[in-house]
Amino acid sequence: MKLRFFIILSIIGLAEYYSFLVVRSSVRNLQPVWRTSLTGLYLSLTAISWLGLIFFRTVNWAAMPHLVRNLYVAFVLGFVVGKILILLVMLVDDIRRLITWLIYSMAYKNSPSADTGTVIDRSVFMKQAALVLGGISLVGFTAGITNRYKYRVRKMKLSFDNLPKAFKGLRIVQISDIHTGSFDDHKAVAHGIERIMHQEADIILFTGDLVNNKANEVDEKYKELFSRLKAPMGVYSTLGNHDYGDYVEWPSRQAKADNLETLKKIHAEVGWRLLMNEHIILEREGEKIALLGIENWSAKANFPKYGDMNLAWEGLAEKNVPFKILLSHDPSHWREEVTKKYKEVDLTLSGHTHGMQFGVDSKWFKWSPVQYVYNEWAGIYRQDGQSLYVNRGFGFLGYPGRLGVLPEITVIELA
């Protein structure tokens, strides 16, 4: 823990150091009044950013006007990421300069100093490039708050040899990670619900994180909104890591337990069948498939293992059901347990990662920092006849926006 803290602190220190050097170099040739003003503005913004981070838990963010809060969070994230980008560029340049110096030192050991004008010019270019990248980050994260309700419908057809004929063409709509406590535009969310209903799903499946922390985030207006989700074969749900209230302080264990019970009741009140380490059998034209749902189960140490596949699987073998769908919030569960111990699960649906709400997410190329933590973080994955789909999330958390990775409504047609 101490080593990790030291590494993080070192990275932050280097990022601040290099960023200041780049800013100072950029304003060096300006008039003194402009040079002083811009340097002072940069230092002030840095101080404001760090004060917000240091006192994050003591600030009453909920009392702030939504626009002010969103702009502040987006600005700080863009500012921090921008400085990390500056650090990377300047480190590359310093390493290049060190190598160049070593080569010149050895090659011209007894000769007059070589002309290093090109080296200096290149360094100036690298500083300018670093500054541009930092600026793009700042603008990008700020602009990203306009994307937080730009729901993207992703459609795909998945084929399975063992799928009963009666279920060929079954339309599944998957949503995940609603995070009701982050919403600040009821009308925009209502539009997202309408888009879900326009898909004419046979069944709707929700894979966890209805709230950020507390059940009361789902007030009456959102209960009414979520209750609009209907499908001929029903709406089924499971819990995610945020639904347990693990990330806030409670006056007592009982208060935390009561919160979870209230959240479970909310699922029922809006017409969602919450699956808690259990399975149900779905029938269509005399044929059957199984739908399993477990509580949050993660292979990552920072997230809980409340789920129990043994309980969900109990009695299923005797029912002779040829096709099985699993709802499991955290995609790390799939590789760690499902593909190893439960090879009869044909399709697993997960969420959790949000695609980190930041990255490149195109048909030809996908990248997000979250991929360095999760092997499966967005879209479809297959292994030995088993499939996993990771939804990018309907809502947002922390960063009140989406940059490159838009909120998702998934439509899966079974074939």
Per-residue pLDDT tens over the stretch 362-412:
989 999 999 999 999 999 999 999 999 999 999 999 999 999 999 999 999
Mean pLDDT of the chain: 92
Cα–Cα distance for residue pair 77/139, rounded to 1 Å:
10
> What pTM was computed for the model?
0.89
Per-residue pLDDT tens over the stretch 272-318:
999 999 999 999 999 999 999 999 999 998 899 999 999 999 999 88
How many other CB atoms sit within 10 Å of the CB of residue 275? 22
Per-residue pLDDT tens over the stretch 240-255:
999 999 999 999 999 9
How many other CB atoms sit within 10 Å of the CB of residue 312? 26
Per-residue pLDDT tens over the stretch 42-87:
999 999 888 888 887 777 777 788 888 899 999 999 999 999 999 9
Residue 121 reports pLDDT greater than 80: no
Domains in the chain with CATH codes = 2-145 (no CATH), 152-414 (3.60.21.10)
Least confident of 112-116, 216-220, 225-229, 259-263: 112-116
pLDDT of residue 65: 84
pLDDT of residue 122: 65
The sheet that has 235-238: what strands, in order across it? 152-158, 408-414, 171-175, 203-207, 235-238, 273-274
pLDDT of residue 112: 52
Higher local confidence (pLDDT), 300 or 1: 300
Mean pLDDT, rounded, for 264-268: 98
Sign of the dihedral through C-alpha 98, 103, 105, 108 = negative
Residue 1 reports pLDDT greater than 80: no
Nearest to 297 by CA among 276, 274, 281: 276
pLDDT of residue 41: 93
